[in-house]
Every structure is written in structure tokens, then in C-alpha cells.
């Protein structure tokens, strides 16, 4: 009798698997992360969630980032025709031209971080941005790395208490990934221009 009652209990619970009629099917397993991405699926979710806080404060975050950049690398000011005369922190903070450029740069980073969901777009977009910097007089690819620390400091200020050690580690990995991709785009453009120049020289000789 005890065995029969046991079987009855299993039937009422929907069998040994614990499933009942009408239960929803198991959701499909998430797609494996793209091997080109240096983040786990959880880390990617974390940065995209926290980035929403940044995207609501693009301009102040970008201005803070550039003020920090010029504090550490004042020589880079000469690259910016519109605001290269802004020598003090106060002048830079209140400059509409700097705010406009800072917002453009933050928009590029915004596209890059949103592109973590589609790495084909991520690589293509940032490579194009890197290529355009090859055409900026006086710009060297090493300059991309100089934005890393100011970017992290600006994100930390904007996110406040939400900027935990774990979030910091994810942002460090992500900004390095973005900068490396920008540099790859710069180098491809550099190579293309030099090859075109070499080919043009041969045509002239011929």
C-alpha cells in the first residue's frame, strides 16, 4: 500500500520529472559568448546596464574626462583648433566647444559599448573611427591610450556608489578593448595610405 501511495504522489506531482501539464517549456540556453569578446556574458550585461547611467549624463561625463586628460597631458590641447587656448580647468569646463567635442567622443564610446552585442558592428565602427584619426595632423596612435585613465575616472564620478570594484574591473577591460580596436583601425588606414603612395610612385616611374 505504501508503494501505491508513493506512485500516486508522483502522478499528482506530474511524474518524477516534476513537470505538470501546461508547464512552459524550458527557455533556450543563452547563446555562447562571442570568443572575440574579452568579457563573460554576465560582465557584458553588467556594463551595458551600468552604462545607462552614463548615457543619461553624456556631456558632463565627457567634459570631466577631457579636463582630466588635459590636466595630465596638456600638450594634447594643441591638437584641438577650437579650444587649444583654454589653459585653465575653469575655461575648459565652461567651454561650449569642448562640451560639444566631449559629447561627440562620448557618443563614439556609447556606440562602441552598445556594439558589444554585435561585434561585427563594433569592429567595423571603431575601425572607421580609428582610421579618421590617422588624418588628424599631429595625432599619433599612442594618444588613444591617454584617454583610458580619464575615462575611468569620469565614469567613476558619474556612477558614484554604483562604481564597485567589480564594475571598475569590467570597465578597465572594456576601454582597453575599445582602444585596441581604434588603434587597429588607425594602423590599417596608415598601411593603406602608404601602400597607395608606394603604388603611385611606381606608376610615375613607369
pLDDT in tens, 10-40: 444 454 455 555 566 666 655 667 899 999 9
pLDDT in tens, 123-147: 999 999 999 999 999 999 999 999 9
**Dist CA 83 CA 87 (whole Å):** 9
- This prediction has a pTM of 0.80
Nearest to 117 by CA among 184, 52, 18, 36: 36
Which structural domains are found in the chain, ordered by start? 39-190 (1.10.490.10)
Nearest to 54 by CA among 174, 176, 144: 174
Amino acid at each position: 500500500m505504501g508503494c501505491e501511495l508513493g506512485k500516486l504522489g508522483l502522478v499528482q506531482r506530474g511524474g518524477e520529472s516534476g513537470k505538470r501539464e501546461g508547464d512552459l517549456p524550458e527557455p533556450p540556453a543563452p547563446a555562447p559568448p562571442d570568443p572575440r569578446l574579452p568579457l563573460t556574458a554576465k560582465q557584458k550585461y553588467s556594463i551595458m546596464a551600468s552604462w545607462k547611467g552614463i548615457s543619461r549624463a553624456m556631456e558632463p561625463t565627457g567634459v570631466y574626462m577631457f579636463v582630466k586628460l588635459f590636466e595630465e597631458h596638456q600638450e594634447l590641447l594643441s591638437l584641438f583648433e577650437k579650444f587649444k587656448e583654454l589653459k585653465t580647468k575653469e575655461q575648459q569646463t565652461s567651454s561650449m566647444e569642448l562640451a560639444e567635442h566631449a559629447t561627440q567622443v562620448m557618443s563614439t564610446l556609447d556606440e562602441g559599448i552598445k556594439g558589444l552585442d554585435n561585434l561585427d558592428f563594433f569592429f567595423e565602427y571603431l575601425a572607421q573611427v580609428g582610421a579618421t584619426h590617422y588624418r588628424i595632423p599631429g595625432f599619433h596612435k599612442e594618444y588613444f591610450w591617454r584617454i583610458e585613465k580619464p575615462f575611468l575616472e569620469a565614469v567613476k564620478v558619474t556612477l558614484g556608489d554604483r562604481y564597485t570594484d567589480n564594475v571598475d574591473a569590467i570597465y578597465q577591460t572594456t576601454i582597453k578593448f575599445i582602444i585596441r580596436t581604434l588603434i587597429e583601425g588607425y594602423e590599417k588606414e596608415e598601411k593603406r595610405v602608404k601602400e597607395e603612395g608606394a603604388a603611385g610612385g611606381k606608376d610615375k616611374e613607369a
